[in-house]
Amino acid sequence: MNLLHHWLLNSDYWKRTVMEEIVPWGLAGVELGDNILEIGPGPGVTTDLLRRSHARLTCVEIDAGLADGLRRRLGEGNVTVINGDATALPFPDDSFTGAAAFTMLHHVPSPKLQDRILAEVCRVLRPGGMFAGTDSRWSLVMPIVHLFDTMVLVPPETMGARLQAAGFINVAVETAKSRFRFSARKPSTRS
């Protein structure tokens, strides 16, 4: 992450946007259960909200510095932070009641790796478990914030088919001006 992006993610503006807009909109009408997985929490602004409303939260963050900082900041409690790669989640099948990913998929360096994350999330969800989240859409500021940083935007119009290809059903995708949200369910039974 470049310095501008790092500064933005730690700003009061971003924290307010996450708390008042992104997470409430991303989880509207979605029940994740009591044991959830968060993919790519970054500095943990979304984690702070999720840990208040879920009994157990496991975060997987690929950046070792961000994972260590989040682990130190949260200390003991209902959150476990793992420095790991979401394309190869270190959990058995059917481990979590729900999963969330907020504004992180565009940080994954290729559509193939993004799709691998979607498939891994489906694998580790319990049958019937929900996956929900948001991601950013293109805007004039996106290339500036991501200068010398990874930015592979997910076209919202492809997200539904990509979730279905990963094994999800009951897929919903909704767009807004600067972001989109998605939700999908792992099938209750395997065919």
Check which CATH number belongs to the domain holding 91 and give it. Answer: 3.40.50.150
Residue 58 inside a domain? The answer is yes
- Residue numbers of the domain that contains 162: 3-185
Tell me whether residue 39 is in a domain. yes
Q: How much is the mean pLDDT over the chain?
A: 92
Residue 105, pLDDT above cutoff 70: yes
Furthest-apart CA atoms within the chain: distance in Å: 47
pTM of the predicted model as reported, rounded to 2 decimal places = 0.92
Instruction: Determine, yes or no, domain membership for 190.
Output: no
Q: For residue 75, with 0-12 CB atoms within 10 Å meaning exposed, 13-18 middle and 19 or more buried, which class applies?
A: exposed
Nearest to 48 by CA among 86, 88, 105, 10: 10
Within-domain flag for 88: yes
Q: Is residue 98 part of a domain?
A: yes
pLDDT at site 190: 57
Arithmetic mean of pLDDT, 53-76: 94
pLDDT band at 146 (very low <50, low <70, confident <90, very high): low
Is the pLDDT at 113 greater than 90? The verdict is: yes
Nearest to 47 by CA among 113, 100, 126, 90: 100
In a domain, 57, yes or no: yes
Confidence of residue 2 (pLDDT cuts 50, 70, 90): low
**C-alpha to C-alpha distance for 105 and 52, rounded to whole angstroms:** 24
Give the number of domains in the chain: 1
Q: Determine the pLDDT at residue 115.
A: 98
Name the range with the highest mean pLDDT among 7-11, 44-48, 146-150: 44-48
- pLDDT grade for 137, boundaries at 50, 70 and 90: confident
- Please indicate, yes or no, if residue 159 is contained in any of the structural domains: yes
191 in a structural domain: no
